[in-house]
Amino acid sequence: MLSVFSSLFINASIIVSTVLLAHILLQDPRFILFKTKQLAAGFFAGVLGSILILYSIPINEKILLDLRYFPILFMALYSSMTAAVFAAVLIGLFRILIQGVSDVSLLAAGITLAIGIGSGWIGRLPLHLARKWVAVISLTCALTGSTVWYLLRANSERTSILTLYLGAIIAMAFLMYAFLTYITSVNRKLELLREEAEKDFLTGLKNPRQFYKSLNHYFTVTMENDRKVSLLYLDVDHFKAVNDTFGHADGDLVLQELGKILKRATRSHDIVSRKGGEEFAALLVDCNLEQAVIAAERIRRNVESYDFKLRNQLSTHITVSIGVSAIPEKTQEISKLLEQADCALYAAKNSGRNRVEIA
């Protein structure tokens, strides 16, 4: 009995350690493959299940007890049915491999596959996660419990062994549900903090810190790969008059709507930022100077024609001045790119506003 407990404890330790390691690794963008590819996730779950078999306890020459089914359940509940079934197939094949083809190994592989299919199907049901956990653990206990009960029919310790085994499965299920729920909560909070650290609180656009980080990145990429990037500096004309006339709350509404206009007028991979106050910037990736001027004119026209809704059923119109610079047409230095875009913006402001000027 002590050996059974020791084996199950080792299995549980391996599972917890692996889940924690996976949590850490999946925070790194380089491991995004395992978040998006079902077969990749299923493969590593299959490897984990196979490792657990290596640390199983042989009740007799044919019967092995371990927690190999948990990686399958993880895939069913947190990835997909495809990943769960693929993991089950790999674990079942490994079970046959280590002891050869026999009635017991084939039965074990069949039970593993049945758990993969059944838990995968349960994972697709529109149920609360806790209910899914109860369902897959009930399925696992029913299939493995009845099988072990039958195979140990000649063993005098059958009841105690089965009680310990099923108790370990249920206890591990409670532990992993709590652990994974905690990890999921932590991930959500980290993602929220990451977003808040990168975005402007008012408009939801990138903040200056994140903008300059992206600018440095794309500048390096541009220089190394002979690509093009353009920079727009944008300022709302006479924005002080908007605040003085309607109040700062309505001024904030104008800035929020302007942020949406800028996002709609640019591509998904362009970087749009609020520099501060009524000043904005847009980094247009893989965009030459001519294309940047066209984009800037489109933004200027969209803003000019937009009816900005305010409180108390009021509305207003605004215009913007835009300065444009580009790499490599205008400069090959990041400091010059910023300086030229700024100078072009002030040229637009000094030339009557509601204009686009090129550095």
- Annotated catalytic residues are 278
Instruction: Give the distance between the most distant pair of CA atoms in the chain.
Output: 97
- In angstroms, the CA 330 to CA 324 distance is 10
CA distances from 279 to 22, 203, 244 (A): 42, 12, 18
**Distances in whole angstroms, Cα of residue 315 to Cα of each of 202, 236, 290:** 19, 16, 34
Query: Is residue 52 within 8 Å of 80, Cβ to Cβ?
Result: no
CB burial readout 249-281, b (16+ within 10 A) else e: ebbebbbebbbeebbebbeeebbbbbbeebbbb
Distance CA 207, CA 351 (A): 29
Per-residue CA distances from 211 to 203, 275, 313 (Å): 14, 9, 35
DSSP 249-281: HHHHHHHHHHHHHHHHHS-TTSEEEEEETTEEE
d(CA 209, CA 216): 11
Alpha-carbon gap, residue 118 to 53, rounded angstroms: 21
